[in-house]
Amino acid sequence: MSLRLGDTAPNFKAQTTAGEIDFYEYLGNNWGILFSHPADYTPVCTTELGKTALLKNEFEKRNVKVLAVSVDPLDKHLGWIKDINETQNCEVNFPIIADEDRKVATLYDMIHPNASENFTVRSLFVIGPDKKIKLMITYPASTGRNFNEVLRVVESLQLTANHSVATPADWKHGEDVIVVPAVSTEDAIQKFPKGVKVIKPYLRYTPQPNLDN
């Protein structure tokens, strides 16, 4: 059965480039990103893992722990990391799961037979501290992911989890957000002291509430 938003992310134990891990223990109380790669020593995957390593500080600032998965064996991962570090001018600093038996790929429905019977598609899951799946993005093997978009959606998820707001199209950190319909305009004025701009009764904006100014 396919996973859906709001489902509990399945726990697992796996061998990784950082040793054996228990997924839940690895995440702790942090947010998590689990993302799959079709195969080692492939060009698009090489750039993606490099980009992830280069964004280490950005993920840490958002309390996000990253974990990659590929169906290739551990020794192949370790050799590939050397290539990634060399070609992407980075240091891969997060675990890569060696999922030879497809256990994790199957748990998270990462193999789509109509795309490939053997390799994972580019699946990405954002998992909250409550171990619930907050976001899923799936790309074909031929298209690399936009990791600035991944950071953007994580910021949106963290913001909207703690405040009664939603983020509009193309929202970026620091821009105005939308008051959710469940909050009346009268209550919104009390709740958001920075101000509420009413465009329509159902469309009301307020400055991002978790900023200091």
Judge whether 90 counts as a catalytic residue: no
Catalytic residue among 45, 49, 104, 154: 45
Contacts of 203 (CB under 8 A, 6+ apart): 178
As given in the structure block, the two tokens for residue 212 are 């200091």
Residue written as token pair 């991944």: 150
Contacts of 179 (CB under 8 A, 6+ apart): 164, 165, 185, 188, 192, 196, 204, 205, 206
Burial state string for 169-181 with b = 16 or more CB within 10 A and e = fewer than 16: eebeeeeebbbee
Q: Which residues pair with 98 in a beta bridge?
A: 70
Q: Any idea which residues carry the catalytic annotation? A: 45
